[in-house]
Chain A
Amino acid sequence: MIATRDAYGETLAELGAENANIVVLDADLSGSTKTGVFAKKFPERFFNMGIAEANMVGTAAGLASVGKVPFLSTFAIFAAGRAWEQIRQAVAYPKANVKVVATHGGVTVGEDGGSHQSVEDIAIMRAIPNMTVIVPADGEETKGAIRAAAAYKGPVYVRLGRNKVASVFPAGHKFVIGKGNLLVEGTDLTFVTTGLMTAQAVIAAERLKAEGISARVVHIGTIKPLDKEILQQAAEETGAIITAEEHSVVGGLGGAVAEFLSEECPTLLKRVGIYDRFGTSGKSEELLKYFGLNAETLVEEAREIVSRKK
C-alpha cells in the first residue's frame, strides 16, 4: 500500500530524468505534495512559488508558453479552489500544456479540518472547458496517470489523496485517459467509483456475492472526458448504478454520471459521497467512517437499490 502522492513524487522524478523540459512548481508544500523528490534531484528546474497559488498557476502558464512542461502542486482546495480562475484563464482558455496535480483531496486530509478538506474540486475543475480531470484509485494507477498526463498535450487536473490506499491495479498498469476499467463483473447493479472508493467497491462486491447480489465494479479514473461506453453498458446490462467518491455528491463523478444517464439511458441511480456539507477535524480513518465512505455503506445502498428494481 502506498499513498498516491508518494507514487506521484517518485514518477515525477523519473520523468524529470527522461524529459529535460519538465519543470515543477509548488507553493510551500513540497514536503507534503512530494514534489520535493523532484526538487532534490533537479533543483534548477524546481520553482517554489511560496504561499501564492494564483501566481504559481500564471507562472506555470508562462513556462508552458516557452516550451516547458510544468507540473504544479499544492493541496486540492488551494489548487482548484483558490486558483480556479487562474487555471480557467491562463491554462484552460489558451489550452496551455500545464498539469495541475493536487494532493490532499477529500476528507482524509484529517485533522487540519474543513478549511483544508476539498469536497468540491472535481466539480469545479470538471466545469471548465478543455480540462482533463483524473482521479486515480491507487499508487499504480497514479504512476500511469502522471505519465499519461506528461505525454498529453493540454491542460490536466489530477486529484490525489493524503494516505496510503489499498492496491487496485497491478504494477506497471497502463493508464489510458478517458477509459474506465471493468474490475468486477456483475449483473444486478454497478458500482461506478473513483479514487479510494474503488477499493471499497471491490470489497463491497465480494460481500454482496455472499448475499446473492451480483455487483459489477467499474472504476472511472478519468472523470472528464467520461467513458460513456462503459457506463452505457453498465446501465443497460445491470439496470442500477451507485456512484461513490470522496467528494460532494454535487457535481463530481456522481454529477457527471447523472448528467449522462438522464440523457442517454435513464437508470436507477444513487450517488454516494459527501452530502453537500463541509468536512471536519478528525483522524482520516475516523472521518471515512463518519462520512460513510466505506464498503459498509456501499453494501447497504446496493441492497436498497436492488429492492427498488423489483
Chain B
Amino acid sequence: MKEKIAELEEKARRLRVAIVKTLHKSQSGHTGGSLSAIDMICALYFHKMRHNPAEPAWDGRDRFVLSKGHAAPALYVTLASAGYFPAEDLMMLRRLGSHLQGHPDSKVTPGVDVCTGSLGQGLSMANGMALGLKLDGKPNRVYAVLGDGELQEGQVWEAAMAAAHYKSDNLCALIDANRLQIDGFVEKVMNVGSIAGKFRAFGWHVIEIDGHDMAAIVGALDAAEAHKGQPTAIVAATVKGKGVSLFENKAAYHGVTPSDLELPEALKCLGCFD
C-alpha cells in the first residue's frame, strides 16, 4: 500500500505540472481550485474508480461529477493522463473549436458524463446517477467533487437532503475545502460554518481529512465504499493553489493563470528543473 501511495503522490505531482503548463498556454482558466482538487481526483481515477479510458461509455464504470466545474483543468489533465484523449489536446484548452471547453461538456469530451460549471448543480446530478444505478441493482459508485464556496448554493442542500432520504450509499461527495472563493475567504464572504456538522445534520456519514494526504484520501474513499445506509461526505481541508508557493492560499489565483514570468518558478516548485 505504501508503494501505491507513493505512486499516487508522484502521479499527482506530474498532474500538477500538467495543470500549470496547460493554464500557462491557455492564459485563461482556474488555477487555485484545480491545484487544490488534484490529489483527490488523482486518487479517484488512478486508484478508486472502476473505469475504462478505451471505452468511456463502459456500462460498468463508476461515475464522476466535477460539481466545481471550473476546476476542469484538473479533470482534463487526469483524463488525458489516463488515456481518454491525446495529451496534446490540453494545449487547446478553452480555444475556439476545442473539445476542452471552459467547463466540462459531456457532448464533446470523452470521459465527461454531465455538463457542469454553474455551481451547486452537480450533487443533484450525482444523486440522480446514484438513484438510477441502484434502481438497476448495479454496484457502480458515484463520486462528486464540490468546492466549499459552492456550498453557499442552496441547491447543494436540496441534493444533500434527497441523497440521505433515498439512502444513496453508492454516492460519495468530496468537498475541496480550500477556504477561499473569488471575493476572499469563504468565512468572510458568506460563512458556511461547519461543513462536517452540516452534512451530518443532513443525515450523511462524514469523514474529515487533510485533502493533500494521499494515504488519508485513499483510506476515506475505502471507508466511504464500505459504509451502508447513508451517502458519505469526505470533507477535505485543502490549500488553494497547493504545490506552487506563489499561488498558495491566494484568492487572486482563483481565475488567474501562470504568467510567462511565473511559469519557471511554478515548475521548479513542482520539481521540474528543465
Contacts and interface: CB of A to CB of B under 8 A. Distances in A.
A50 B124 CA distance: 13
Contact of B124 (A58, A64, A70, A96): A58
A95 interface: yes
A57 interface: yes
B114 A94 contact: yes
Nearest to A92: B115
Given A50-B162, A55-B159, A63-B128, A85 B118 contact: yes
B106 A94 contact: yes
Contact of A94 (B115, B123, B132, B135): B115
Interface residues of B, number: 33
Contacts of A65: 63, 106, 113-114, 125, 128-129, 132
B79 interface: no
Count chain A CB atoms within 10 A of each CB in B125, B130, B133 and give the residue with the most. B125
B58 interface: no
B115 A55 contact: no
Interface in B166-213: 166
A61 B107 contact: no
Interface size class, chain A: 20 to 34
A61 B114 contact: yes
B121 A86 contact: yes
Contacts, number: 104
Interface in A63-99: 63-68, 70, 85-86, 89-90, 93-96
Given A54-B155, A89-B117, A62 B162 contact: no
Contact of B131 (A54, A57, A63): A63
A60 B128 contact: yes
A297 interface: no
B49 to A, nearest CB: 15
A59 interface: yes
Contacts of B123: 58
A45 B162 contact: no
A45 B135 contact: yes
Nearest to B123: A58
A94 B127 CA distance: 17
Contact of B166 (A47, A54, A85): A47
Contact of A52 (B115, B125, B135, B158): B158
A62 B130 contact: yes
Interface in B115-166: 115, 117-118, 121-133, 135-136, 154-155, 158-159, 161-162, 165-166
A275 B115 CA distance: 37
A183 interface: no
Contact of A90 (B121, B136, B162): B121
Contact of B161 (A23, A47, A52, A96): A52
Contact of B133 (A50, A59, A66, A70): A66
Contacts of B125: 58-59, 61-62, 65, 90
10 contacts: A54-B154, A54-B155, A55-B127, A55-B158, A58-B125, A59-B125, A59-B128, A62-B131, A63-B128, A66-B136
Given A62-B128, A62-B129, 5 more contacts: A23-B135, A45-B135, A55-B124, A61-B124, A62-B65
